[in-house]
Structure formats: C-alpha cells, structure tokens
Amino acid sequence: MNSKVFFLLSILAFLAFSKLTLVSCRKAKINHGLDGFTLELIHRDSPLSPYYNPSITPSQRLRDAFQRSFSRVSFYTKASIHPTTLVNHAIQSDIIPDYADYLMKIAIGTPPRKTYAILDTGSDLTWIQCKPCNRCYKQILPIFDPKKSSTYKTIGCQSKECKFVRESTCGSKNVCEYEVHYGDGSYSIGDVASDTFTFDSTYSKKVNDISIENVVFGCGHNNGGNFGNHTAGIVGIGYSNISIIHQLDKQIKGKFSYCLVPNGDLSLPYHSPNTTSKINFGPKAFVSGTNVLTTPIIRKKSVVLGYDLFYFLNLESISVGGKKLEFKSSQLMSSSDVADEDLGNIIIDSGTTLTYLPENFYDKFESILVETIKGSRKIAPPGVDLPICYETKSVVEFPNIVFHFTNADVETLPMNAFSKVDEELTCLTIVKGDHYGIYGNLAQMNFLIGYDLVNHKLTFLPTDCTKH
C-alpha cells in the first residue's frame, strides 16, 4: 500500500475513533429559547414518590425521616473523631446522598430513558447506574444503557471536565474515570461521560420538556451500598465546577431557588399529592419582595472533606424568646477564599431533615428554650430520638426562633422547629451535632430560598410554598 494512502487512512481511523469515544469541551446547553426552567421536587414520603408506602402511618414516616437525617450526617461524627485520616484519604467521602429527602424525575440519552434520581446540594458529581454492570445495586426501573443513546460520549482524560472531577483517573482508551465513596461505605465507580438530560418543566405551558445537551456525569458500572432500588443515582447541585449548576452557568447565570412544601408535621398536608415542592433555575429563580433577607454564601473548604462542596452561611447568633445566644464557629470548617476563618460556620442543606447545632452551643440553647416553654416535658417514644418533647394534649405555646445570619435575621415559625410526632407529643427538630452546624430542610419549609452564585448571596423570603 502506498505510504501516503496508509498515512491518510491512519489519520481518518484515529479521527473516527476519537469522535466515537471522546467528547469535546462543549458546555451544557438548554435546547430551547427560555433561559430558565422550573422542576418539581418529590419528597420521598409523598404519594407521588416511588418509595411511598400507604400502609405506613404518618408518625412512622416522620420517624423514618429523622433516622435518615441521623444516618446522612453520621459521617461528620466519624470525621470529627478521625479528621486527619479522612482528609488524607486518597478518595474523599461525601455525606450520604441516599438519605436525602427529595427526588426528581429525569430522562437520559437520545431517545430519553426515564428514571428517578436524588437531588442533593451535598453532592457535586451527577451519576447514574449504567450497563454493562460489573456490579450494580438492585434497580427496579431499567438501568441506562449508553450504547442505546445516540448522544452519549465519554470524556477524554486531558479535558478540563475530567480535571474538575475530584480524584479522577485515566482509564483504558484515554477515558476519564471517576470514583466516589460515601460515609456509610456506599460507592460509585465508572466513566465520566456526557449526554442529554431531559426534565419535565412547569416553567411554561408551551414547554413541557426541558432538554439539556452535553451534561457531564458519571456513568457508573460498579455501584454498591445503601442505595434505594427506585433511584438510578444522584443529581449533584453542590458548590463545585462539575455540578449541574456550574455546567449551566451561562444559561442560568448561577441562579437557582427552591420552595419546600411543609411536610414534617402530622397536622400539615403531608399526604396531599397536589402540593409538590419546586426548584427554579435561571431568571425564574430570582427572589424579590419587601420581606427578602439576604446573607453571603461563603465559599470555603471543609476540614473533613478537603474541598469546597457545600454552601456555607455565617450564623452570628440565635434568639429564643428575645434572649440572644452568640454562635461560635465550627471546628470542622477551614478558611479558603475568605480572610476571616471564622466566617462560614453552618451548612445549608436541602437533603438533611433536621437542623444540627454544635455540641458546646446546643446545651446553652436547650437551657434557654426549656425555660421559655411552659408545658409538660416528655421522653420521646422509641425511634424518634429527639431530646426535647412536650405533651400537647392541651395548648402549648412554642416560641419563634430567630437565626441571625450575617445581614439576615430569619424568624422561623414553630412549624420550622417543632414537629408533632404523634397525636399527643410535639418535639424540637433542632438537635445536637458534634462540632458542626447544618441548617436542615424542616427549617427551610415555607421559605423561597434563592442561591446567587455569581454574587455569592443567598436570599430568604417567607412564602406559602403550596401556592408558589
């Protein structure tokens, strides 16, 4: 064969192989004229959830939610005992996502294959189970097969997307690979790839489906641990360059917001199928009004995890019944992009049910709270594990609790801090952590909460989320 012809054929073969296996550095892009969209969030205990079990009592659902919360943050407790070991571990651990509370419907590939995934502000990389499975946990809906998607492409090792993935490695055929481990021993391992993600949108009557091209995600061929069989993986919206929020930065301008429907109390519309929570992206996420409160989002690294993943706020104090307690910074947080290392002492997390306060602060908080409440204190029933409970056969007045964030005094209603766990007992849903602070989703319910990652601001607006 002529050497020139052989050379040209070699080049063509290489280009064809590259086109099949490696994606160029194209940004994720929404495929319609709108610059934003709104999606439904499904609480895992809602009748709309695939996990919903009608035979379980409302009281048991609450207990299960509390246990998920304890399990989700158990990693922090372990880390506080051996932080150095965890920080220096070759593969960093995230908080446990499958104990998060909110699911979303997604469809992946072309043609789109529908499934459910967990939405998590405590995760950055989006990943799903993929065929072929070296090992996969049981999944009821079909596992995604990338060979059946015409828009699926793997990511090359030298791409910037590969560099954004924490602890990525270079596999065979120059394919970027990821490995994620969680605090309970669960894990996902596979290829970093891109494909089209399709969502059901409520933004406009004219646009029902929102397709986002070139979403970088993990295609997991080896997955195991405590993942539920109704969900295919995780949709990560944490604070890092690989999260979907940052991938869509040009389209949504770094803005998203959500409004969580109350569902943590037996007296609230816990079972109503018509009261879904919403998450907004882009212009739709803009929060405005006379009662808007704004506080800085602090970008910094966690000492435990060693990278900037979470949304930190700065909590200065908490008031109970007019008495103010100064809030001390957490020992598990370290400064990164801020001059004052004491800034950024509490994580706001949509996936954690309860609110956690550091151990040394909580004791003082509990003392003032108990002095304020006039009622008969009771021990929580087995499985509830909440330390402060009151008998509510008769009327008991629970105080509003004010969280004094920097420039934002957020006054929570009793429903944000107390849950009726059975017909005669109401318990505080703010609990003792170790050295960390987490502002959980019960405290966020009936607030429209907006994230502006361009200006590093978070907004609170009291809102009836059932009407939002």
From the candidates 120, 124, 265, 452, which is the catalytic residue? Answer: 120
Cα distance from N-terminal residue to C-terminal residue, the chain: 70
Of 267, 210, 275, which is closest to residue 39 (Cα–Cα)? 210
From the candidates 98, 265, 349, 422, which is the catalytic residue? Answer: 349
Strand pairing class (29-30; 207-224): antiparallel
Measured distance CA(88)–CA(76) in Å, rounded: 15
C-alpha separations of 447 from 10, 202, 298, 322 in Å: 60, 19, 20, 22
Active site residue 452: no
Give, to the nearest 10 degrees, the angle between helix 74-81 and helix 58-72: 30
The 3-state DSSP class for residue 83 equals helix
Backbone angles phi, psi at 380, to 5 degrees: -65, 145
Q: Which helix (H) or strand (E) holds 389?
A: strand 389-391
How many Cβ atoms from other residues are within 10 Å of residue 70's Cβ?
16
Can you give the three-state secondary structure of 354-397, one letter per residue?
Answer: CEEECHHHHHHHHHHHHHHCCCCEECCCCCCCCCCEEECCCCCC
Torsion angle in degrees (nearest 10) through CA of 75, 79, 85, 87: 80
Q: Which residues contact 412 (CB under 8 A, 6 or more apart)?
A: 400, 401, 402, 403, 443
Measured distance CA(215)–CA(459) in Å, rounded: 27
Contact 133, 144 (CB under 8 A): no
How many Cβ atoms from other residues are within 10 Å of residue 318's Cβ?
22
How many Cβ atoms from other residues are within 10 Å of residue 158's Cβ?
12
Active site residue 200: no
Question: Residue 257 pairs with which residues in a beta bridge?
Answer: 280, 450
Measured distance CA(81)–CA(336) in Å, rounded: 22
How is residue 25 written in tokens? 């550095």
Just list the catalytic residues.
Answer: 120, 349
